[in-house]
Amino acid sequence: MFLIHKHDSNFNHERWIMCCSSARSQRYIIERCLKWVNQRKAFGKPLASQPVVRAKIAAMISRAEAIQAWLESITYQMCNMVRTPPGANDGICSHTDLVVV
């Protein structure tokens, strides 16, 4: 009879790495958009002077900052929270359970 060992891993670190990569890519896209908006002219004025364009760029930056704050919160939890063994809390979720979706 073979025993199957359950690995003590739920791939949270791998998911965290993908989130970090995604956040960095988002910041790079915003950087490229800002460069393009500052170079482009529309209706005889710089595109950056158009309120609609500024609002869209501001929304992009706002979402990027929210993702960065969420990522820093998850990073803090991953580094400082105590991990409980599976089944130790008898099916009751506690603040030490960490799940990254």
Mean pLDDT of the region 26-41: 94
Q: Is the pLDDT of residue 29 over 90?
A: yes
Mean pLDDT of the region 14-19: 88
Per-domain boundaries in the chain: 12-80
Which of 97 and 82 is assigned the larger pLDDT? 82
Q: Is the pLDDT of residue 82 over 70?
A: yes
**68 Cα distance to chain centroid:** 6
Which of 36 and 7 is assigned the larger pLDDT? 36
Q: Would the pTM count as exceeding 0.95?
A: no
Instruction: Write down the residue that tokens 């760029």 correspond to.
Output: 57
Cα end-to-end distance, the chain, whole Å: 35
Tokens of 46: 């710089």
